[in-house]
Amino acid sequence: MELGQVGQEENPLVTLANKHGLKNTPDNSSSVLTYDETGYNDYQDLLNTFSDVKDVAYRDAGQMLLDNIQDNNARTGFAMAGWNPPQNDMKAQAVEWWNWDCECAASPDASSFIFGVAAENLTFNQFGENNHMVVDPRGYSTIIEREASTFLHKEVQDRRLWLNTQVTGIEYSKKGVKITNSDGSCVSAAYAICTFSLGVLQNDVVQFHPALPKWKQTAIQKFSMGTYTKIFLQFDEAFWPTDTQFFLYASPTTRGYYPIFQSLSKDGFMPESNILFVTVVEEQAYRVERQSNEQTKDEVLAVLREMFPDKQIPEPTAFIYPRWNNEPWAYGSYSNWPVGTTLEMHQNLRANVDRLWFAGEATSAPYFGFLHGAWFEGLEAGEQIAAMLQDKCSNTHDEAICGDRTHYDVLHGTTPIDAYTIINGWSVNSTDL
């Protein structure tokens, strides 16, 4: 798992990691070697070119937001900044994948240019440019467990926390909320905060009574849920350069096919562990989820044997990867902002319905896709509800926020019906539609 690192401000997750002594270490994206199906092949020049183009593109995206320019997908944004490689330039496709897909778990074609760039810029400019990887044997959950122990009873199971409990129904109104679980138990409260992943909401795992309003359902289905899958292999010994963190592979036929390997057998991580992992996202992640571990292992080993043709690469001693879309509490890894989707549509995703509120990384406009986005959203929702219970306004962002969150029953487009004319290339009668 990864944490944003310290920049101008300290990421609240870094604060918690330090508070609870969670062992973590920064990655170094400049420590990378490049490969293709013939073995080592130096295309660092493409990495440098994309880095320069990315700087231009990201400035353009920020200016588009400030000037209220219509959104593009990230593919268009990169092309306008000077990056427009042929589809069959697989080295350029690998470079692009590492710089965009690997962060967003979605392609540039499917991603909002303005909001995708904003989330990355705000996170890394505000909190620092590095990702820190948790290498603590206790796991990332240590943050949650240790923080919870500061207010939950330790000696007995605290009745405020229900573990291994599946929510199946939520009944909400202007008077309160009732939660029903699969074992028949229920909980009633004046307010509730729904922090299900976007994937859970999209898959209708929980029944809402009454059904969520159309504006809410539309927003839920409008945003996309990415899948980010790390596939871990452990060997008796390392056959890769252990002084390097990343190994970028350009498949000759398929974009995003086992494209980036990272070594954990390195100082600061898990030295001499002989662990290597490869990351896939989106369609390739769905594909490996559908097939057996054995099939996936054979494919990964075939790629490694292309990358290191002079090495005798054995079977791994351990092999494992998650299947996020099969997890009924997740149905994916984290959200992505689709092209052309407005801030108002996102507000409908985060807006409450009566006394049922929503929070999580997906409801964070500036930090979607990041854990600190979930942190800030949960904090804000909790403070707003606490204030409402006292008939007060909250002051989360140094601005008084009172009552329900804003939502939009109807969101209109940018083109009025009287613009559908021959002047704009519309040569048919719109009433015939």
347 and 416: one domain? Answer: yes
CB 135 within 8 A of CB 267: no
Residue 83 is predicted with a pLDDT of 98
Region 246-264: what's the mean pLDDT? 98
| Residue 305 pLDDT exceeds 50 | yes
| Residue 268 pLDDT exceeds 60 | yes
User: Domain for residue 259, yes or no?
Assistant: yes
CB 368 within 8 A of CB 335: yes
Residue 130 is predicted with a pLDDT of 79
pLDDT in tens, 74-117: 999 999 999 999 999 999 999 999 999 999 999 999 999 999 99
248 and 280: one domain? Answer: yes
At residue 254, what are phi and psi to the nearest 5 degrees?
-130, 120
Percent of the chain topping pLDDT 70: 97
Residue 6 is predicted with a pLDDT of 44
CB within 8 Å of 154: residues ≥ 6 apart: none
> Where is the domain boundary, 326, 347, 379?
326
| Residue 1 pLDDT exceeds 50 | no
Residue type at position 393: C
User: Domain for residue 133, yes or no?
Assistant: no
Instruction: Tell me the two tokens of residue 166.
Output: 């599946």
User: Domain for residue 402, yes or no?
Assistant: yes
299 and 236: one domain? Answer: yes
User: Domain for residue 277, yes or no?
Assistant: yes
User: Domain for residue 26, yes or no?
Assistant: no
251 and 274: one domain? Answer: yes
User: Domain for residue 218, yes or no?
Assistant: yes
- Residue 23, classed as helix, strand or coil, is coil
Q: Is the peptide bond between 314 and the residue preceding it cis, with omega within 30 degrees of 0?
A: no
Domain of residue 242, CATH code: 3.90.660.10
CB 74 within 8 A of CB 117: yes
CB 281 within 8 A of CB 227: yes
Q: Which band of pLDDT confidence, cut at 50, 70 and 90, is reported for residue 396?
A: confident
Instruction: Tell me the two tokens of residue 380.
Output: 């804000």
CB within 8 Å of 365: residues ≥ 6 apart: 115, 343, 346, 347, 350
Whole-angstrom Cα distance, residue 283 to residue 272?
A: 33
Q: Which band of pLDDT confidence, cut at 50, 70 and 90, is reported for residue 431?
A: low
Region 49-65: what's the mean pLDDT? 97
Residue 302 is predicted with a pLDDT of 99
261 and 350: one domain? Answer: no
Q: Which band of pLDDT confidence, cut at 50, 70 and 90, is reported for residue 156?
A: low
Domain of residue 177, CATH code: 3.50.50.60
198 and 288: one domain? Answer: no
| Residue 5 pLDDT exceeds 60 | no
Adjacent-strand bridge partners of 193:
357
Residue 87 is predicted with a pLDDT of 95
The pLDDT mean for the chain works out to: 94
Whole-angstrom Cα distance, residue 134 to residue 20?
A: 12
Residue type at position 412: H
254 and 291: one domain? Answer: yes
Residue 2 is predicted with a pLDDT of 43
| Residue 377 pLDDT exceeds 50 | yes
322 and 344: one domain? Answer: no
CB within 8 Å of 432: residues ≥ 6 apart: none
Residue 401 is predicted with a pLDDT of 86
Query: Phi-psi bin for 331: left (phi > 0), alpha (psi -120 to 50), beta?
Result: left
Residue 213 is predicted with a pLDDT of 98
| Residue 398 pLDDT exceeds 90 | no
427 and 405: one domain? Answer: yes
User: Domain for residue 275, yes or no?
Assistant: yes
213 and 240: one domain? Answer: no
Whole-angstrom Cα distance, residue 386 to residue 305?
A: 58
Whole-angstrom Cα distance, residue 97 to residue 389?
A: 47
Residue 433 is predicted with a pLDDT of 66
241 and 276: one domain? Answer: yes
413 DSSP assignment:
-
Region 113-139: what's the mean pLDDT? 90
Q: Which of 5-14, 126-135, 420-429 has the lowest mean pLDDT?
A: 5-14
CB 45 within 8 A of CB 163: no
342 and 414: one domain? Answer: yes
Query: Phi-psi bin for 255: left (phi > 0), alpha (psi -120 to 50), beta?
Result: beta
By residue range, what is the domain housing residue 278? Answer: 225-326
Region 382-396: what's the mean pLDDT? 92
User: Domain for residue 138, yes or no?
Assistant: no
Residue 153 is predicted with a pLDDT of 82
Residue 361 is predicted with a pLDDT of 98
> Where is the domain boundary, 274, 300, 326?
326
Region 174-197: what's the mean pLDDT? 97
The structural domain count of the chain equals 2
